[in-house]
């Protein structure tokens, strides 16, 4: 069977036979790993985003099923397993926002640099684009000019690491940057995806820019509104951000795409992101594709986050419920990301 979340083909037994809750009105199309992972990090169903906590009986049953199928897999109910589990080969897991994951043999003396090379082989992300996090702490390859190891970060057997992909580290010389979020029309008719940016200070939402609210912070954030090309059957929203004009407390901007009328965005072709420096609008600095978004109502495409005084663009590719009519589910998903220390 094909998992529509991690986009891998797996055995039928790796999928749940029922949904997480009786209120989930859909077929179970995501594998057990993807379903349990989103409950763990965000307390929600990976398909319809209904609230689900880790004491949910079906969630616990799914975790136990995974452990029977893959006894070497780390326990999903907690960050680490009990050291008394002597029979299991120690491993660590790396989860990438958007659903992909992989498992490695645990070696306390393994360097972070080597781990990043292994992650590149498995998940395809270049080491310099990886932001690996363990318990809110970023794993650096070097400290005091020496290679760091898993042991240096007190990483225990059966731990879970989170991988955030860096799309672009913004030079300090940049001020005016442009995010172009675009999509193809449905096969029939003309319908809209909405690009919105949710703006945070720490974990507190400050403002939202969308087609209705186009001018924020005296023009530091400017939303183009709908830009539709009927000849090419393409639509896009352009969001301009003047970094040095943002209020000093603003440190996170989350860029989202959501379906206006459709229950999901499967009928819109190739939702994508392009990023530019306004001084060179013909030079694309980075881009990202959103293939895993089709069966969600919305996707949190990327974040613009200030870390240690520097702005960075991170790929998130996180599905969510909600849209420009009702931002609450999107805010809940973003809160989960922030509380996990992922942005």
Task: Give residue-wise pLDDT tens across range 289-323.
Answer: 765 555 678 889 899 999 999 999 999 888 888 99
Query: For residues 292 and 289, what is the distance between their CA atoms, to the nearest angstrom?
Result: 9
Alpha carbon dihedral 109, 111, 117, 119, in 10-degree steps, equals: 70
pLDDT tens, residue by residue, 19-42: 888 877 677 888 898 889 888 877
Whether 61 and 160 map to the same domain: the answer is: no
- pLDDT given for residue 291 in this prediction: 59
What is the average pLDDT across 179-207?
A: 87
Query: For residues 6 and 297, what is the distance between their CA atoms, to the nearest angstrom?
Result: 17
Whether 116 and 133 map to the same domain: the answer is: yes
Is residue 87 included in any domain, yes or no? no
DSSP class per residue in 127-172: GGGEEEEETTEE--SEETTEE-BTGGGTPPTT-EEEEEEEEEEPPT
Which of 20, 53, 69 lies at the terminal end of a domain, its last residue? Answer: 69
Whether 157 and 265 map to the same domain: the answer is: no
pLDDT tens, residue by residue, 116-133: 999 999 999 999 999 999
- pLDDT given for residue 116 in this prediction: 97
Is residue 75 included in any domain, yes or no? no
Specify the CATH number for the domain of residue 183: 2.60.60.30
What is the average pLDDT across 195-201?
A: 96
Whether 175 and 279 map to the same domain: the answer is: yes
Structurally, how many domains does the chain consist of? 3
Whether 178 and 284 map to the same domain: the answer is: yes
Specify the CATH number for the domain of residue 160: 3.10.20.90
Evaluate whether 195 touches 181 at the Cβ level (below 8 Å): yes
Mean pLDDT comparison of 33-42, 44-53, 128-137, 279-288, highest-scoring range: 128-137
Whether 33 and 123 map to the same domain: the answer is: no
Query: For residues 91 and 158, what is the distance between their CA atoms, to the nearest angstrom?
Result: 5
pLDDT band at 82 (very low <50, low <70, confident <90, very high): very low
- Strand 142-143 with 146-147, pairing: antiparallel
Mean pLDDT of the chain: 85
Is residue 151 included in any domain, yes or no? yes
Whether 46 and 134 map to the same domain: the answer is: no
Query: Is pLDDT of 214 > 50?
Result: yes
Cβ-based neighbour number of residue 164 at 10 Å: 23
Query: For residues 106 and 328, what is the distance between their CA atoms, to the nearest angstrom?
Result: 39
Which of 143, 164, 185 lies at the terminal end of a domain, its last residue? Answer: 164
Whether 250 and 179 map to the same domain: the answer is: yes
Q: Which residue range forms the structural domain that includes residue 30?
A: 12-69
Is residue 100 included in any domain, yes or no? no
Which of 117, 142, 164 lies at the terminal end of a domain, its last residue? Answer: 164
Is residue 82 included in any domain, yes or no? no
Residue whose pair of structure tokens reads 């860029």 in the numeric block: 255
Whether 132 and 198 map to the same domain: the answer is: no
Is residue 278 included in any domain, yes or no? yes
pLDDT band at 62 (very low <50, low <70, confident <90, very high): very high
Which residues, 6+ apart, have CB-to-CB distance to 116 below 8 Å?
127, 130, 132, 141
Is residue 143 included in any domain, yes or no? yes
- pLDDT given for residue 29 in this prediction: 82
pLDDT band at 190 (very low <50, low <70, confident <90, very high): low
pLDDT band at 181 (very low <50, low <70, confident <90, very high): confident
Whether 113 and 138 map to the same domain: the answer is: yes
Query: Is pLDDT of 83 > 70?
Result: no
Whether 63 and 123 map to the same domain: the answer is: no
Query: Is pLDDT of 72 > 60?
Result: no
Query: Is pLDDT of 80 > 50?
Result: no
Q: Work out the angle at residue 169's Cα, subtended by the Cα atoms of residues 124 and 248, and round it to the nearest 5 degrees.
A: 140
**3-state DSSP assignment of residue 314:** strand
Percent of the chain with pLDDT over 70: 90
Whether 120 and 179 map to the same domain: the answer is: no
Is residue 334 included in any domain, yes or no? yes
- pLDDT given for residue 306 in this prediction: 96
Packing angle between helix 32-42 and helix 328-339, nearest 10 degrees? 90
Mean pLDDT comparison of 47-61, 188-202, 214-228, highest-scoring range: 214-228
The enclosing H or E element of 68 equals helix 57-69
């Amino acid at each position: 069977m094909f998992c529509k979340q991690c986009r891998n083909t797996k055995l039928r037994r790796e999928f749940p036979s029922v949904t997480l809750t009786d209120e989930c009105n859909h077929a179970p199309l995501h594998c057990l790993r993807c379903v349990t992972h989103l409950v763990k990090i965000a307390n929600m169903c990976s398909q319809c985003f209904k609230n689900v906590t880790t004491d949910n009986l079906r969630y616990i049953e799914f975790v136990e099923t995974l452990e029977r199928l893959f006894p070497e897999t780390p326990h999903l109910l907690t960050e680490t397993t009990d050291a008394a589990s002597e029979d299991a080969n120690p491993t660590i897991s790396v989860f990438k926002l958007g659903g992909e994951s992989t498992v490695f043999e645990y070696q306390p003396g393994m360097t972070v640099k080597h781990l990043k090379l292994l992650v590149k082989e498995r998940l395809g992300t270049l080491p310099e684009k990886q932001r690996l996090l363990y318990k809110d702490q970023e794993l650096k390859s070097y400290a005091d000019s020496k290679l760091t190891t898993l042991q240096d970060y007190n990483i225990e057997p059966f731990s879970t690491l989170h991988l955030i992909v860096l799309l672009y580290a913004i030079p300090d010389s940049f001020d005016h940057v442009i995010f172009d979020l675009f999509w193809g029309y449905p096969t029939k008719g003309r319908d809209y995806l909405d690009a919105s940016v949710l703006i945070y200070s720490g974990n507190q939402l400050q403002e939202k820019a969308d087609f209705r609210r186009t001018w924020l912070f005296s023009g530091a954030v400017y939303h183009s509104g709908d830009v539709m090309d009927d000849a090419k059957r393409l639509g896009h929203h352009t969001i301009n951000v003047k970094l040095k004009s943002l209020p000093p407390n603003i440190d996170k901007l989350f860029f989202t795409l959501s379906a206006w009328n459709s229950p999901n965005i499967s009928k819109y072709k190739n939702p994508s992101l392009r990023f530019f420096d306004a001084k060179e609008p013909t030079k694309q600095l980075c881009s990202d594709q959103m293939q895993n978004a089709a069966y969600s109502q919305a996707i949190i495409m990327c974040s613009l986050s200030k870390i240690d005084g520097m702005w960075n663009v991170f790929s998130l590719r996180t599905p969510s419920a909600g849209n420009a009519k009702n931002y609450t589910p999107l805010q809940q998903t973003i809160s989960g990301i922030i509380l996990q220390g992922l942005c």
